Amino acid sequence: AAGVIQSPRHLIKEKRETATLKCYPIPRHDTVYWYQQGPGQDPQFLISFYEKMQSDKGSIPDRFSAQQFSDYHSELNMSSLELGDSALYFCASSAGTVYEQYFGPGTRLTVT
Amino acid sequence: GDSVTQMEGPVTLSEEAFLTINCTYTATGYPSLFWYVQYPGEGLQLLLKATKADDKGSNKGFEATYRKETTSFHLEKGSVQVSDSAVYFCALSGMDSSYKLIFGSGTRLLVRP
**Buried b / exposed e across B67-106, counting CB within 10 Å, b at 16+?**
beeebbbbbebeebeeebbbbbbbbbbbeeebbbbbbbbb
What is residue A40's predicted lDDT score, i.e. its pLDDT?
Answer: 85
Give A89's contacts in chain B (Cβ within 8 Å): none
For A67-82, write each residue's pLDDT tens digit.
Answer: 999 999 999 999 999 9
Q: Which residues pair with B88 in a beta bridge?
A: B37, B107
pLDDT by position in tens, chain A (length 112) = 789 999 999 999 999 999 999 999 999 999 999 999 998 888 999 999 999 999 999 989 999 999 999 999 999 999 999 999 999 999 999 987 667 899 999 999 999 9
Q: Do B43 and A103 touch (CB under 8 A)?
A: yes
Q: Do B97 and A100 touch (CB under 8 A)?
A: no
CA distance B9 to A112: 30
Q: Do A98 and B99 touch (CB under 8 A)?
A: yes
SS3 A89: strand
Q: Do B98 and A92 touch (CB under 8 A)?
A: no
Q: A33 CB contacts (<8 Å, ≥6 apart)?
A: A45, A47, A48, A91, A92, A93, A94, A101, B98, B100, B101
Nearest CA in chain B to A89: B43
pLDDT by position in tens, chain B (length 113) = 889 999 888 999 999 999 999 999 999 888 999 999 999 888 899 999 999 999 999 999 999 999 999 999 999 999 999 999 999 999 999 766 678 999 999 999 999 99
Instruction: Give the CA-trace dihedral at A45, A49, A50, A51, to 10 degrees.
Output: -160
What is residue A97's predicted lDDT score, i.e. its pLDDT?
Answer: 64
Q: Do A97 and B98 touch (CB under 8 A)?
A: yes
Give B37's contacts in chain A (Cβ within 8 Å): none
Spatial CA neighbour of B106 closest among B12, B25, B10: B10
CA distance A50 to B6: 30
Nearest CA in chain A to B34: A100
Which class for B63: exposed (0-12), middle (13-18), buried (19 or more C-beta within 10 A)?
middle
Q: Length of chain A in residues, anyone?
A: 112
Q: Do B101 and A45 touch (CB under 8 A)?
A: yes
Q: Which residues pair with A93 in a beta bridge?
A: A32, A102
B61, B67 contact by CB (below 8 A)? no
* CA of B100 vs chain A CAs: smallest distance (Å): 7
The CA-CA-CA angle for residues A93, A96, A101, to 5°, reads 35
What is residue A98's predicted lDDT score, i.e. its pLDDT?
Answer: 66
CA distance B25 to B90: 9
Give A48's contacts in chain B (Cβ within 8 Å): 98, 100
